[in-house]
Amino acid sequence: MNQPQQHHSGVVAVIGPPNAGKSTLLNRYLQQKIAIVTPLPQTTRNRIQGIVTGPDYQMILLDTPGLHKAKELLNREMMRIALEALAEADIALFLADAAADAQKRERRRAEYCGWLEQVSCPSVLALNKIDLISKDELLPLIEWHRSLHPFNAVIPVSALNGEGADTLLHELVSRLPEGPQYYPPDIPTDATERFIAAELIREKIFLRTKQEVPYSTSVMIDSFKEDDGAGKVEIHASILVERDSQKGIIIGKNGAMLGDIRKAATKEIEKLLGCATQLRLFVKVRKNWTENEQILRELGM
């Protein structure tokens, strides 16, 4: 493999509070949808690895669950995943929501400082969602975040429209240590198609259900069969819920909700796989699965 004499590579852990835009930023740099995105906090549960390759660098981005106070086993596992990513990072990218409520942000100052105290590598602050605030608000926000931690750089960005994304990318790449290219240049992630398919189904549930239902559901791929001759894939997936009432909500009247979820997920999965997909969904009640270690292991946590 021909590489420049000075090739840089390394791991960037993307951390920050829930709903700050970490997955949106990852998808922008990969130029395709790898991480699911919803308006709800704590959508990301697993660590998702994105690989950004340039002519003289390879940056491995770790999209992590949002940092939050964890009570249930599921949430504690999410926090463990996020903080473990810091241990193997060459750079910590703290993504903050510039449009967040100021009072709520101030109440969480101690939490933010506690997380950032665990950062021992170079750190960059990306102040995201600047498309939602005025320019006059930007400088005070930068100063407030600088009071939390001695960031090596602060870059205002909009992961949604791309403003500042190139500047941020350059800043991160400039701080990568020298190293080899670990992955072929056309590999955007180490996540399997099965994993991404399950995440896309879960995204549709998040977007279509309310209150506690999205957080009480998860998706397991039971079978993933490729028929090369017919040019299609058949996927059987189970949607786990904690209560019978949630099962009824997911299925909907005359199966309407489940049908809507299946239709929307099928469209995205076909785009991912580049072929026709037959998706079958089954809703199963697994009481208190969010506290079940065996189920969490099966879900890759």
**CATH node for 193-298:** 3.30.300.20
Q: Are 247 and 205 in contact, with CB atoms under 8 Å apart? A: no
Q: Report the distance separating Cα 125 and Cα 9, nearest Å.
A: 20
pTM exceeds 0.75, yes or no? yes
How many CB atoms neighbour CB 95 within 10 A? 27
- pLDDT tens by residue, the chain, 301 residues: 455 579 999 999 998 888 899 999 999 999 989 888 888 777 877 778 899 999 999 999 988 777 666 667 776 776 777 777 777 899 999 999 999 999 988 988 988 898 899 899 999 999 999 999 999 999 999 999 999 999 999 999 999 999 999 999 999 999 999 999 999 999 999 899 999 999 999 999 999 998 888 889 999 999 999 987 778 999 999 999 999 999 999 999 999 999 999 999 999 999 999 999 999 999 999 998 988 888 888 887 6
Domain ranges of the chain: 8-174, 193-298
Element containing residue 123 per DSSP (H, E): strand 123-128
Give Cα separations from 165 to 64, 155, 220, 296 (angstroms): 19, 9, 34, 34
Question: Which conformational region is residue 19 in: left (phi greater than 0), alpha (psi within -120 to 50 degrees), or beta?
Answer: left
Task: Return the pLDDT at 214.
Answer: 84
Three-class HEC string of 204-228? HHHHHCCCCCHHHCEEEEEEEEEEC
Dig out the tokens for 10 from the structure. Answer: 């390394």
Fold of the CATH domain 8-174: Rossmann fold (3.40.50)
Tokens at residue 264, please?
A: 């929307």
Query: What is the C-alpha separation between 139 and 130, in angstroms, rounded?
Result: 11
Residue type, 195: F
Return the structure tokens found at 245: 């009432």
Take residue 155 and report the two structure tokens written for it. 């870059």
Residue with tokens 């929501």: 97
DSSP, collapsed to helix, strand or coil, labels residue 251 as helix
CA-CA distance, 135 to 133, in Å (whole number)?
7
Q: Which residue has the tokens 């489940």?
A: 258
- Burial of 66-75, coded b for 16+ CB within 10 Å and e otherwise, reads bbbebeebbb
